[in-house]
């Protein structure tokens, strides 16, 4: 799985001169974090935690539908999904697809209230009507939304437009 440094290459590719004639009109970024991951690692061990992360990454990757959609491991148990051309209207459904794909794995997690591995998702969207794209600001907004999802009980998707 590519890491967060891969995002720069992706953004450079998406903004190449031949793509600038038809750049995406909207962008959505999603931050995805595995809920209660530290207790999982502590109780089941790092090998189980690593295997869990691989399965979560595979499930998340399986939800990407468009050729330019990108998923990277952002750090630890956190992933970032970039959806060029996904609007604010598309975002809640995409976020729910990510969340549901992980929940459907039904991976055991003794420290989770549900008994299985879940994720929280925070998303933020940008459209060309709001000005030039600032990916760092969009990531920061998605991260704030992720924090809200965690505070509201986890295993949910929360967005900011």
Active-site residue, selected from the candidate residues 18, 77, 78, 96: 77
Type and span of the H or E element at 79: strand 78-84
161 residues of the chain, pLDDT tens digit each: 888 778 778 777 776 655 555 566 788 999 999 999 999 999 999 999 999 999 999 999 999 999 889 999 998 999 999 998 899 999 999 999 999 999 999 999 988 999 999 999 999 999 877 778 788 899 999 999 999 999 999 999 999 86
Active site residue 77: yes
* Phi and psi at residue 129, to the nearest 5°: -65, -20
* Owner of token pair 């000005």: 131
Domain segments of the chain as ranges: 26-160
Domain 26-160 part of CATH 3.30.70.270: yes
């Amino acid at each position: 799985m590519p890491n967060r440094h891969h995002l720069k290459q992706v953004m450079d590719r998406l903004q190449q001169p031949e793509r600038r004639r038809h750049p995406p009109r909207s962008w959505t970024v999603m931050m995805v974090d595995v809920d209660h991951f530290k207790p999982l690692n502590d109780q089941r061990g790092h090998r189980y935690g690593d295997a869990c992360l691989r399965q979560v990454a595979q499930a998340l990757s399986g939800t990407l539908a468009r050729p330019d959609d990108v998923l990277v491991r952002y750090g630890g148990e956190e992933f970032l999904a970039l959806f060029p051309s996904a609007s604010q209207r598309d975002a809640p459904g995409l976020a729910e697809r990510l969340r549901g794909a992980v929940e459907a794995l039904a991976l055991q997690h003794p420290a989770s209230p549900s008994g299985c591995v879940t994720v929280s998702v925070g998303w933020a969207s940008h459209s060309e009507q709001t000005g030039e794209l600032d990916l760092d600001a969009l990531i920061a907004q998605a991260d704030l939304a992720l924090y809200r999802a965690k505070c509201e009980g986890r295993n949910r998707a929360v967005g900011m437009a």
